[in-house]
Amino acid sequence: MDIMKPIASEDIPIGKEWTYEVKYDGFRCTIHWTAESIRLISKNNKDLTANFPEMIAACQDLQTKIIPSLPLVLDGELCVLNNSFQANFGWIQKRGRLKNTGTIEKAAIQRPATYMAFDLLQEKGSPLFERKS
């Protein structure tokens, strides 16, 4: 999987080919979404699905609206937000370490995770070539 990596620079890039985004501290992961399953996979290829049931439930709620696009793969950041522009990295780390199903479900209610999608990598099972680099 080709994931975007930051590039150090002292100059601010200028031009129509550049976009700017809020940096959310969380877990970089992809959502692999088919009609049969929804999985969250970290950039290190760790399955995060069991630790974030609220993400699976949110996708399932949307599934009837996007069935024509399935299967698809999204690239983004899984985070717990303090507000619209600030993620709480400590909370997402805590969520990622939980093992007990009951504790995970309580945490999902107390501080639900949010998925910030950056890119659509595949739609209808086909890689997309026109994407942000």
Burial class for 87, CB neighbours closer than 10 Å (0-12, 13-18, 19+)? buried
Give CA separation, 19 vs 104, 116, 118, in Å. 35, 16, 11
pLDDT in tens, the chain (133 residues): 445 566 777 888 888 887 777 788 999 999 999 999 999 999 999 999 999 999 999 999 999 888 888 999 999 999 999 998 899 999 999 999 999 999 999 999 999 999 999 889 999 988 875 545 4
Q: What is the pLDDT of residue 85?
A: 86
Three-class DSSP category at 115 = strand
Q: What is the pLDDT of residue 69?
A: 87
Q: What is the pLDDT of residue 5?
A: 66
The contacts of residue 48 (CB under 8 Å, 6+ apart) are 27, 29, 40, 41, 42, 78, 96
- Count of other CB atoms within 10 angstroms of residue 22: 10
Active site positions, annotated: 23
> Which DSSP letter does residue 39 get?
E
Structure tokens given for 90: 């400590």
Domains of the chain plus CATH, in order, are 27-122 (3.30.470.30)
